[in-house]
Structure 1
Amino acid sequence: MTWSVEYPRVLPARRPPGHEPRAPRWTLVLDAPTSLLTADYLAIQLPARGGPDEDRFLELARASAAGPGSTELLVATGPEGTVELVHLAYFTDPTAHERWLHDAPLPGWFSRLDPADVGFGAWHEVLQCHPDRFETIYSDPRWEFGFGGCAGTAREPMTTNGYFGAARDRFPVSAIDPLEPVGKQVRRDDVASRGRRLRVESGHDMAVIRSGQFWEPAEGEQLVDYEHNLQSKLLTGMAHLRDNPADTGTLSLRILTSLDPASLAPRRETSVLGHFHSLGELEEWAASHHTHLAIYEHAIEAKRHWGDARSVVTWHEVVVLPRTARSEYVNCVPTTGLLPWAPTLLTVE
């Protein structure tokens, strides 16, 4: 028994008549109704790895395990050569998330940071939306990624895939809402963020994607194919998005490496967290730019070649957020996350 959101379709679907996907794909389903899904990213921004500030962050992260449906520890190269350790917590119960914010040591530490008295930066980006503004895709249903690590979720086969516009069709709300932002966000080069706590209110209908790559099971020819072929195509595509924000609508893009929570060793697992001005701009890159077409065709060919023996797994989850999305930055580099693009920037005293 699964629960889903459905609306009578008012806007036309993008699916071509008679479409049959070239490769099987799966999507996340929920066992029970929920009002909000939450992905809570809380990070420390350090000059380099190691040291007492990192140790304290990790201690607090481990002490905050109770409450989330699932947690991950990630690392990214931040702006201006910084290192960002990221604690990611997923919730399918919004009340559980509020309790965690109120009671858990890690968010409590963040809320008490004095931006004028710390030698590091920290940020907290919360993605929260109704399930009708959420969609997923998995190349293999046997692994639990993202919200799939939460109890009460499963992966089921689908055929709303394999054509450009499929991701939009997978949003239940796309049946009645064009998901179009009003106006255009403008980059600011004058954000004085050092020594300050700044809160960002995101623009309405901002799209956020977490796109994952998992190749721990890969060996031999498949390992070589990923690390020497597909991975370079992925990095080329991400570089294009990051370096051309005016053309692609890219507001923020991080390449995250998953860490073993006990040993802190990097896993053969990465994900890209990207914020975009609109779903339409993300779709345009996916449908027409050679950097994404190279990724897409390689993935289809690899699945065709290896079939069920394919040991490299790809997946993504996308949310289109209402204006009330909240992000907060403490003593961060000015180009961190959404700071340069914030339509509304509030100083928190």
Structure 2
Amino acid sequence: MSEVVQLESAVAPHLCPVNSSAATRERPEFDSYTGRLDTDVRQVVMAYFGAQEQSAEAGAALDDVLRMRALMRRPGGPGHLELSRYVDEAGFGTVLVVGYWLSPEAFDTWYAAHGAGWTSGEAAIGHFVEVVRPTVRRLETIYSSNRDLQGIGTLAERPSGPIIEHGYWGGMRERMPDARDSSLASSGTPEPVARDGATEVVPHEGLCLIRSGQDFSSTEGAERAFYLEQVEPQLRAGMDFLRDEGRSIGCFANRYVSVLGEEGERREKSYAMSWWNDMADLEGWARSHRTHVRIFGAFTAHMKRFGDDARLRLYHEVAVVPREHQFFRYSRCHEGTGMLRAIQD
């Protein structure tokens, strides 16, 4: 009989005591984990640099983003970066490189030297940059495995043990320290500002970002078939709904992207990233909207069927970001790009 590992709180002890209501819950059906950042880390940076063109192939966009990736690999660049691509609702091929920093000061120094020119308007195609700087008190992560953490988790000092706060509605909020005693409600309205030939979106208080991903590269046989035939179609339908109709429920923009390898080749990983009005709107969709109910049901069926033998890896990271810690700038992009959608009538 295998030893049962004791559960621990997703919230690190130096950030908040264990939530007593969560601590009394029964053990979740499946173990999940979070990433433990170094205790000296107080704020992180998540920066998305994108290029778009009116072609699904997006060859020029890939070339531009590969050049940006080379700049991100210079001294002072992110501790982790990743390429991805997708075709958006307007049929524009878009390529992204996301970088993660554990120091806002390091990001600022790198950006001034290498990143600020990205949206100067000199490129022949659309360029944009979307940057958020959440504090660790307004950030939470969850992973289905304690190996090969993704996103900001790649910079974690270590993974946690199995955590208490998951497997029930409300777990996301209880994994975020500041959300335990604050609603983190939004206020204000995003506004456009024309500056130096580009459009910047001056954000509102309490914007919420979620990046939620899947790695099916290790799946085989029946598990692989189940994911591709039963799970992924439900996931894609939900992501299409958020992309096309999300504004009706508080989702400003959603991208469902394929992760790319070193040379731009497609890997068997994907993630969705969404900008939400606030955390409550994200919770509302997750709790009861038909599209998420179907996604949740499909993933639950997958894990129940394959259990401890499952090789599918799942994760998400959620950040709630104050107004002063957001930056959005778009050059030559169509009006439905990213947070530009938040300022459309």
TM-score by length of 1: 0.86
Matches for 1:78-89 after TM superposition, within 5 Å: 78-89=88-99
Offset of 1:153 from its aligned partner? 4.4
**Secondary structure of the structure 1 residue equivalent to 2:34:** strand
Matches for 1:269-288 after TM superposition, within 5 Å: 269-288=269-288
Tell me if structure 2 keeps the 8 A contact 1:74–1:259.
yes
Q: Which residue of 1 aligns with 2:66?
A: 58
Offset of 1:292 from its aligned partner? 1.4
Mapped to 2, the partners of 1:178 and 1:295 lie a distance apart of: 26
Tell me if structure 1 keeps the 8 A contact 2:89–2:244.
no
Moved more, 240-249 or 88-97: 240-249
Tell me if structure 2 keeps the 8 A contact 1:72–1:87.
yes
Tell me if structure 2 keeps the 8 A contact 1:76–1:255.
yes
Mapped to 1, the partners of 2:24 and 2:160 lie a distance apart of: 25
Matches for 1:132-281 after TM superposition, within 5 Å: 132-150=137-155, 152-182=157-187, 185=189, 196-261=197-262, 263-281=263-281
Tell me if structure 1 keeps the 8 A contact 2:227–2:302.
no
Offset of 1:182 from its aligned partner? 2.8
Offset of 1:129 from its aligned partner? 1.0
Mapped to 1, the partners of 2:296 and 2:249 lie a distance apart of: 18
Moved more, 206-215 or 287-296: 287-296
Q: Match of 1:26, as an amino acid?
A: Y
Tell me if structure 1 keeps the 8 A contact 2:217–2:269.
yes
Offset of 1:240 from its aligned partner? 2.5
**Secondary structure of the structure 1 residue equivalent to 2:33:** strand
Distance 1:52 1:317, change over 3 A: closer
Q: Which residue of 2 aligns with 1:291?
A: 291
Mapped to 2, the partners of 1:323 and 1:170 lie a distance apart of: 22
Moved more, 79-88 or 264-273: 79-88
**Secondary structure of the structure 2 residue equivalent to 1:255:** strand
Tell me if structure 1 keeps the 8 A contact 2:54–2:92.
yes
**Secondary structure of the structure 1 residue equivalent to 2:162:** strand
Structure 1 vs Structure 2: percent identity of aligned residues? 25
Distance 1:336 1:307, change over 3 A: same
Tell me if structure 2 keeps the 8 A contact 1:39–1:90.
yes
Matches for 1:116-135 after TM superposition, within 5 Å: 118-135=123-140
Q: Which residue of 2 aligns with 1:6?
A: 15
Offset of 1:295 from its aligned partner? 1.9
| Correspondence 1:109 to 2:121 | no
Moved more, 129-138 or 61-70: 61-70
Mapped to 2, the partners of 1:192 and 1:259 lie a distance apart of: 33
Tell me if structure 2 keeps the 8 A contact 1:7–1:176.
no
Tell me if structure 1 keeps the 8 A contact 2:210–2:317.
yes
Q: Which residue of 1 aligns with 2:311?
A: 311
TM-score by length of 2: 0.87
CA displacement 1:255-293 (0-9 Å, x = unmatched): 1110001x3110010000001111111111111123212
Gaps of 5+ in 1: 344-349
Tell me if structure 2 keeps the 8 A contact 1:134–1:319.
yes
Instruction: State the aligned residue count.
Output: 330
| Correspondence 1:25 to 2:32 | yes
Q: Which residue of 1 aligns with 2:108?
A: 98
Q: Match of 1:6, as an amino acid?
A: L
Gaps of 5+ in 2: 1-10
Offset of 1:334 from its aligned partner? 0.7
Offset of 1:17 from its aligned partner? 5.5
Distance 1:199 1:162, change over 3 A: same
Q: Match of 2:32, as an amino acid?
A: R
Offset of 1:248 from its aligned partner? 1.6
**Secondary structure of the structure 2 residue equivalent to 1:285:** helix
Q: Which residue of 2 aligns with 1:347?
A: none
Mapped to 2, the partners of 1:301 and 1:245 lie a distance apart of: 26
Distance 1:151 1:163, change over 3 A: closer
Tell me if structure 1 keeps the 8 A contact 2:35–2:157.
no
